[in-house]
A = this chain, B = another copy of it.
């Protein structure tokens, strides 16, 4: 018998592209341009190169870089040889970057020359790293105190262009990276080959089998604008590899360069956080690129897609769609594809749909559950936590059994996000579970209350927290900074919110019991409202 047990491993994603469109290009700014066939030759060289400096099955190879063709090569070569790709989050503070490399026990680091100064200063604290490989756009090896050190291109040129990527168990680890919690140290999440292959198939299906303004086919030219170090750039480089898209890599993000690449390389598909889209649509020269932007389809995630931003983008001819996921979930869980019949809706109404958190992609089982574990009704009002099952969720937090237990409580992955579900099944995130007010077994969205209170003309800033309450467990309390020279009373604000309760926007029992006027609201180091401090401050209010 020689039946072939076909494993779901990353190398299989390339089969059809290499067969069907080997000459389609991969472009990195104006620095590099080659075909998928050449890419395949280079990843074979990279595998031989890494093997020559000691990388084996199970070794960990870290990458510290912006989005380059070399990063894309590592995305495939490292896991395809059976090693584990650690995509280092270069946006973390240096001491946290150091922490992740130490915690991951990385064996080899592929390092962009620009990051040499930071890394050299901490290299002595990285005892597991056995080799450094320097990547540079200059074409020359910089001088460095790191050792042993190699130059990426020299290493590739010194080895054979043939490497037989092996078959192995599809449950082999492929990637590892760290998610920064708002509190505490970064937590490691990791994914297997099987998980990434299934994520790829499902994301591709979601983005193509539903009629939508934003879809993807092999004709599209993809420019990822989610960094490669950020949750597999949402898995879309793997989707592009399977479908055979032309890929355009933007390096370090710069809106002017992105606009130029859209024009020059005829980019038709990108994905990004709202901030990046905001920078592009508000670039002073954006009007000059309208001709090219009208062919540009954009998936937005990482944070809610603001209605105003969606509208602004649409006015420029850009097609936008929101999606949602977490580092823990590879990441994609939902995309806000409109339903067939919604495509005929007027823009104003359709925009409510495409800016939602979305509906689950194929194979994702998603529930929004209340504090008793029951599904909330599809009423657009009742809030519950989003819990999920899918074939691509992290099995655990790396070396952290305690946090893992919380994550996987009851056999469902707990996202920590709190949402409502509308009559069509679209979910909309309204809060983080740690900020939600738990009153009498029901949940109240602090963000929804904050949004409404902030609309009052006399309110400059507002935070809503749950304060411990002897009867209800918690009751909402609003902390308010009034606008300079303006005044408002507790009674007026209550009456104001009663208006929203009457129109069905919120339930009547959501209205805060107390409105407290202060001159300043405490903030975290990143400028966000520090609800932890507030909760502590008002813990004995009732």
A 6-20 contacts with B by CB, 8 A: 6, 8, 12-13, 15-16, 19-20
CA of A395 to CA of B3 in the docked complex: distance in angstroms?
A: 6
Which of B211, B340, B365, B396 has a CB less than 8 Å from the CB of A3? B396
Given the known A-B contacts A202-B201, A204-B205, A211-B217, are A360 and B3 also in contact in the complex, defined by CB atoms under 8 Å?
no
Set of chain B residues within 8 Å of A201, measured between Cβ atoms: 198, 201-202, 205, 362
- A168 contacts B by Cβ under 8 Å: no
- A345 contacts B by Cβ under 8 Å: no
Set of chain B residues within 8 Å of A218, measured between Cβ atoms: 209-211, 340
B425 touches A19 (CB 8 A): yes
- A208 contacts B by Cβ under 8 Å: yes
Set of chain B residues within 8 Å of A209, measured between Cβ atoms: 204, 207-208, 216-218, 243
Given the known A-B contacts A208-B205, A209-B218, A340-B218, are A19 and B360 also in contact in the complex, defined by CB atoms under 8 Å?
yes
Whole-angstrom distance between the Cβ of A72 and the nearest chain B Cβ = 19
Who on chain B is nearest to A405 by CB?
A: B1
Set of chain B residues within 8 Å of A389, measured between Cβ atoms: 4, 6
Which of A296-304, A346-354, A406-414 contacts the other chain? A406-414
Set of chain B residues within 8 Å of A217, measured between Cβ atoms: 208-211
Who on chain B is nearest to A218 by CB?
A: B210
Given the known A-B contacts A361-B16, A362-B201, are A1 and B216 also in contact in the complex, defined by CB atoms under 8 Å?
no
- A390 contacts B by Cβ under 8 Å: yes
- Flag A333-363 by CB within 8 Å of B: 1 or 0 each: 0000001100000000000000000011111
- A21 contacts B by Cβ under 8 Å: yes
Which of B2, B243, B390 has a CB less than 8 Å from the CB of A409? B2
A 477-509 contacts with B by CB, 8 A: none
Contact size range, A: 35 or more
B243 touches A20 (CB 8 A): no
CA of A401 to CA of B136 in the docked complex: distance in angstroms?
A: 57
Set of chain B residues within 8 Å of A395, measured between Cβ atoms: 3
- A391 contacts B by Cβ under 8 Å: yes
CA of A216 to CA of B215 in the docked complex: distance in angstroms?
A: 13
- A364 contacts B by Cβ under 8 Å: yes
A360 touches B15 (CB 8 A): yes
Whole-angstrom distance between the Cβ of A317 and the nearest chain B Cβ = 20
Whole-angstrom distance between the Cβ of A13 and the nearest chain B Cβ = 8
- A528 contacts B by Cβ under 8 Å: no
Set of chain B residues within 8 Å of A20, measured between Cβ atoms: 339, 359-360, 425
Set of chain B residues within 8 Å of A359, measured between Cβ atoms: 16, 19-20
- A242 contacts B by Cβ under 8 Å: yes
Which of B6, B208, B413, B425 has a CB less than 8 Å from the CB of A390? B6
A408 touches B219 (CB 8 A): no
- A161 contacts B by Cβ under 8 Å: no
Given the known A-B contacts A2-B408, A4-B411, are A16 and B360 also in contact in the complex, defined by CB atoms under 8 Å?
yes
Whole-angstrom distance between the Cβ of A477 and the nearest chain B Cβ = 35
- A415 contacts B by Cβ under 8 Å: no
CA of A153 to CA of B294 in the docked complex: distance in angstroms?
A: 55
A 316-342 contacts with B by CB, 8 A: 339-340
CA of A174 to CA of B209 in the docked complex: distance in angstroms?
A: 25
CA of A13 to CA of B201 in the docked complex: distance in angstroms?
A: 13
B6 touches A391 (CB 8 A): yes
CA of A201 to CA of B13 in the docked complex: distance in angstroms?
A: 13
- A404 contacts B by Cβ under 8 Å: yes
Set of chain B residues within 8 Å of A216, measured between Cβ atoms: 209
List 18 additional contacts besides A1-B405, A8-B198; criterion CB under 8 Å. A1-B404, A2-B409, A3-B393, A3-B396, A4-B411, A4-B412, A6-B390, A6-B391, A8-B391, A15-B365, A16-B361, A16-B363, A21-B339, A198-B201, A208-B209, A209-B217, A210-B218, A219-B340
Task: Name 13 A/B residue pairs within 8 A (Cβ), A-sorted.
Answer: A3-B404, A4-B408, A6-B389, A12-B363, A12-B365, A15-B362, A16-B363, A198-B201, A204-B209, A208-B208, A209-B243, A210-B243, A211-B218
